[in-house]
Structure 1
Amino acid sequence: MANPNGLPKDFKTALLVLYIFIFIFGTLNVVLMSCMLQSQRHLSFTKVSVINLIAVHSFFLLTVPFRIYYYASNTGWPLGSDFCKFVSLMIHAHIYLAFIFYVSLLIVRYVELSNQRHKLEFHRTLHATIASATVWLIICGSVFPTISNYGNNQNNRDKHTDSTPCFHFRKALDDHRVKTLNYVLCTLVILVWSVLAFFQVYFLIKVIKAFGKATCQRQEFWAQLKNSVFLLVVFFSFVPYQGFRVYYVSVYDNTTGIPNTTEIPNTKEIRSTEEIHHINEVFLAVTAFSCFDMIVFAGRDVCKLINSRGWFNCL
């Protein structure tokens, strides 16, 4: 049975649990990593990337309580369609901003591990600020205008109501340009991750061949292992959603009908469409698991920080 917000009870409960979990542990992740960065003096590329990741996660986490409220309530969205689009926009901006900083962080680490004599650093804070601002402007300039057009028809239809369903913007896929953009972004994310995974396997094999039985005692191996774990976090957070999104966009016409058609849609097809849309929302929520990235990536350093503060003994 559907709720006033248009979600079946099981999907609504799943999304509510996911976002509560994400908000609690995502906030913990941000706090721990902010404390860790205070002990680092040099303005390295890695540190700048981590600072930007913390900022990306923080801005997104500020919107999560509104999602929790929406899925926990038995009413629609009472905060207006414009704010609904903004909250929806933030999770998409979070995906692509975070992904770019992940890629830059991994590439820099690959370069540094290949040439350990030279550490890549920003010599001035201004340079780091300009580089970071450029990335933010490019992504936000691309994502914001696109998402801002989502749901315009829905807004005009419901502008006089006090509470309406939120995050229902799939009608934007009627525009072939939006569908093409979805295909391009999804393919690009999967392709870039695949290339990074290829190089990661190459570096691991290279280290194992170079040190043989002493591999586990070498710092180079553990650095590469840390990169591998980080790459897995990126994979489980982003790749499933991008892969399902391609399917979701590709079957849209087949399940909802092409605009201006006079054929009456089959009831089973409508149910299938709704279910696919709900599954897409769950995959979208899973992308926010990247908010736990630094706890996994710097697990040993986090343990040292916690232990130094005397919170508990970290084994």
Structure 2
Amino acid sequence: MTTEDSRTMNKENGALSNATSAQLIDCYYAIWRPVLITIYIVVFIGGACGAIRMLFLLMKMNKLSVTTTVTINLVVIHSLFLVTVPFRLYYYIKIQWIFGSYFCKLVSIMIHLHMDLAFLFYMIVLLIRCLIFFQWKDKVEFYRNLHAVATSAAVWFLAVVTVVPVMSIWYGKTGKYEETKCFAFHKEFSYGAVKALNYALIGVMVILTCALVGLQVFMLVKLVRNLSGSVWSHQEFRAQLKSVFFVCVIVFCFIPHHIFRIYYIRHVGDKQYAQLAVFNEVFLSITAISCLDLFFLVITGRKIRMPNLMALSCC
């Protein structure tokens, strides 16, 4: 067999392998597609309702409060992500992408940007609550509205400066992908720099989450010990439930994806990639459930019975 024949055979085997992998991915999508569609429909409807309702509530809140500013930014990032959800739903229903490769990259990156910025905003809110709890600050406010706008603009500028170069240089540039398929930019993980960056982001989020969980447990234990009688009769304890809610959102929505992503990055080149690709989409859809946070906060903000409050705050 000549060298040219060997190269031709290798190309044919590679094409056959890619075709087989694509068929397996379609097969797994057929199984998990109802789950993905259901999750994104609930996220879109609940997230949109929560964002709209929260905007009306924010109009009545203190504009200089850092918490108010963070909540506004949280509404913005949720809304930007929700705009891309219908395109995801179309793809999962039709299993065909018709909006172009660049827009596919944008929609794919948006879910990661949403997760990272939402985590940042949750962490800021929790740290502010810690400062108030330990009486280091009575309240955390900006001096002027311009300071709040400038701070928000700086955060968004850094996010754009960080994401756009990554999308332009790495995302979907090194591998050949089908125009009719989307959300499968796995070939970039063959580069050590891409793996290192992903591992670093995973490590930072997991470490910070563990620290937040430990701090929240410490605060709850200290609060319960200092309160007399039923803890539900104290406003301080009920206020801490909102912090517990944010921690629960981080733990149950973001951490499972990051833990799975460690395994996904290590085995993305294996023959079982077809199965891992679909599981990766499922775990990413779980991160989107964080969009329901505003919906639950609006509900728990109403005057309802304590047992219901406890159930909703710990979701």
TM bin (shorter chain): 0.7 to 0.9
- Which residue in 2 is equivalent to 1:98? 118
* Aligned residues of 1:77 and 1:166 also touching (Cα < 8 A): yes
CA shift, 1:137, in A, is: 2.0
| C-alpha distance in structure 2 between counterparts of 1:3 and 1:15, whole Å | 17
* Aligned residues of 2:64 and 2:143 also touching (Cα < 8 A): yes
| C-alpha distance in structure 2 between counterparts of 1:3 and 1:12, whole Å | 14
> Which structure has the higher relative contact order (CA within 8 Å, separation 6+)?
2
Deviations 1:167-225 (A, max 9, x none): 11000101111111111111111111110111111111111111243433221111112
- Which residue in 2 is equivalent to 1:113? 133
| C-alpha distance in structure 1 between counterparts of 2:278 and 2:26, whole Å | 12
Mapping for residues 32-111 of structure 1, pairs under 5 Å: 32-74=53-95, 76-111=96-131
| C-alpha distance in structure 1 between counterparts of 2:230 and 2:204, whole Å | 38
Aligned letter for 1:284?
L
CA shift, 1:288, in A, is: 0.7
| Counterparts in 2 of 1:48 and 1:231: CA distance versus 1, 3 Å | same
* Aligned residues of 2:254 and 2:287 also touching (Cα < 8 A): yes
Deviations 1:46-66 (A, max 9, x none): 101100000000011011111
Secondary structure in 2 aligned to 1:234? Answer: helix
Q: Mean Cα displacement is larger for which, 18-27 or 142-151? A: 142-151
| C-alpha distance in structure 2 between counterparts of 1:6 and 1:140, whole Å | 36
* Aligned residues of 2:63 and 2:145 also touching (Cα < 8 A): no
Aligned letter for 1:296?
F
CA shift, 1:303, in A, is: 5.9
CA shift, 1:116, in A, is: 7.9
Aligned letter for 2:221?
I
| Counterparts in 2 of 1:135 and 1:276: CA distance versus 1, 3 Å | same
Aligned letter for 2:208?
V
| Counterparts in 2 of 1:128 and 1:42: CA distance versus 1, 3 Å | closer
* Aligned residues of 1:77 and 1:164 also touching (Cα < 8 A): yes
- Which residue in 2 is equivalent to 1:18? 39
CA shift, 1:146, in A, is: 1.8
CA shift, 1:113, in A, is: 2.4
* Aligned residues of 2:257 and 2:284 also touching (Cα < 8 A): yes
Q: Mean Cα displacement is larger for which, 35-44 or 280-289? A: 35-44
- Which residue in 2 is equivalent to 1:311? none
Match of 1:181 among 197, 206, 221: 197
Q: Return 5+ residue gaps in structure 2 as ranges.
A: 1-21, 305-315
| Counterparts in 2 of 1:189 and 1:95: CA distance versus 1, 3 Å | same
- Which residue in 2 is equivalent to 1:267? none
- Which residue in 1 is equivalent to 2:291? 291
Q: Return 5+ residue gaps in structure 1 as ranges.
A: 256-269, 305-315
| C-alpha distance in structure 1 between counterparts of 2:27 and 2:116, whole Å | 27
| Counterparts in 2 of 1:4 and 1:107: CA distance versus 1, 3 Å | closer
Identity %: 37
- Which residue in 2 is equivalent to 1:235? 251
RMSD: 2.2
| C-alpha distance in structure 2 between counterparts of 1:205 and 1:6, whole Å | 49
| C-alpha distance in structure 1 between counterparts of 2:26 and 2:150, whole Å | 42
